[in-house]
Amino acid sequence: MQDSITRFNEYLQLKNCTPGTIYRYNRDVRHFLEYCGVEASSLLSAHHIRNYLLFLLNDEMLSPSTCKCALATLRTFFKAGLGRPELVAGIPWPRLPQVLPDIWSSDELEQLFAAVSDLRFRTLLLTCYATGLRISEACHLQVSDIDRARGVLHVHQGKGKKDRFTPLSPRLLKHLEDYWRIVRPVRPYVFPGIRSGRPMANKLPEAAMIEAVAQSGVPKRATPHTMRHCYATHSLENGMDIHTLQQILGHASLTTTQRYLHLSLKHISQARSPLELLNLPTASESRP
């Protein structure tokens, strides 16, 4: 079995996967093998895979999204590690519910940011909203990534190991300057972590967001990633074309960016109902 795991890890390294991805893949494979309890890889079958996924869904009560990630890991493991991709080929992908994220209005965002008392976390969340950065991208932002002359932020090796630029608004720059003057963070990171030379951990702004949502009084859900959703939706409502938004967000496919059209109230509210075309009697012309 160890030879299969070694081949699996070599495959991930050749694909140049990030250390975080390799860790998650190995964690999921270990969990699967512990559940199966077999000594030799030759004893694994499609029956083991089906039972394991049903165990995750019914016993562990994991979401279909998490089970889909587990299946993706097993597909890679059985292909690259065991050389037996046919065992996974017949396993269906879990159907994911299409749930739209809550989009906060400008007034609600003002309440949210006012509820974040720590200047570090407030500035980081403002950065996510002002630029559309993912929380991990904002945490890894370095001082040298701020290009004042060109008015952009340089995102290095974002999701999918891709570089891109995002607009740097003058107002965000002013917030960053005030933050830098007061907090005096240690370079190179704009938002350094507890350990010297390391960026801030994602879990810290996530915890601050949970507390701020509760104190804001707004009955909506929110995570730091909600700031990215709000940026995309508000940008479309303010007239940004979808191809520019795709480049800013770093989406490989335009289809991914187009989902924000479903969240834009400007497009929905301007859609004309067919009821407007009917010639109907007024209330005074109707009999009780």
Residue 22 pLDDT greater than 80, yes or no: yes
Q: 237 to each of 98, 105, 129, 266, how far by Cα in Å? A: 22, 11, 15, 6
Opening angle at CA 170, ends 168 and 175, nearest 5: 95
Q: 144 to each of 9, 38, 98, 153, 177, how far by Cα in Å? A: 34, 51, 39, 9, 14
228: annotated active-site residue = yes
284 within some domain: no
* Pair 81, 122 in one domain: no
- Global pTM value: 0.78
* Pair 84, 122 in one domain: no
179: annotated active-site residue = no
The active-site residue out of 48, 164, 228, 234 is 228
* Pair 62, 118 in one domain: no
Express each pLDDT in 160-192 by its tens digit. 778 999 999 999 999 999 999 999 999 999 999
* Pair 58, 145 in one domain: no
% of residues, the chain, pLDDT over 90: 69
Q: What is the CATH number of the domain that holds 18?
A: 1.10.150.130
Domain that holds residue 55: 2-89
Sequence-distant (6+) residues with CB within 8 A of 84 are: 44, 78
279 within some domain: no
251: annotated active-site residue = yes
Q: Letter for the amino acid at 107?
A: D
The active-site residue out of 159, 175, 220, 259 is 159
Nearest to 44 by CA among 6, 4, 11: 4
266: annotated active-site residue = no
7: annotated active-site residue = no
The active-site residue out of 7, 75, 225, 259 is 225
* Tokens at 54, concatenated: 């049903």
Other CB atoms within 10 Å distance of the CB of residue 246: 19
* DSSP states of 183-226: H-PPTTBSSB-SSTT-BPPTHHHHHHHHHHHHHH---S---HHH
* Pair 80, 115 in one domain: no
Residue 24 pLDDT greater than 90, yes or no: yes
Pairing of strands 152-158, 162-167: antiparallel
* Pair 23, 152 in one domain: no
Phi first, then psi: give them for residue 189, nearest 5 degrees.
-85, 145
**What pLDDT score does 283 carry?**
65
* Pair 59, 121 in one domain: no
* Pair 128, 182 in one domain: yes
Residue 279 pLDDT greater than 90, yes or no: no
103-117, 127-141, 267-281: least confident range: 267-281
* Pair 67, 170 in one domain: no
152 within some domain: yes
Give the SS3 label for residue 156: strand
24 within some domain: yes
* Pair 190, 63 in one domain: no
Mark residue 161 as left, alpha or beta (left: phi above 0; alpha: psi -120 to 50; beta: remaining).
Answer: left
Q: What is the CATH number of the domain that holds 121?
A: 1.10.443.10
* Pair 31, 162 in one domain: no
Q: 98 to each of 69, 134, 144, how far by Cα in Å? A: 16, 21, 39
* Pair 168, 111 in one domain: yes
The active-site residue out of 120, 122, 134, 229 is 134
What distance in Å separates the CA atoms of residue 249 and residue 253, rounded to the nearest whole number? 11
134: annotated active-site residue = yes
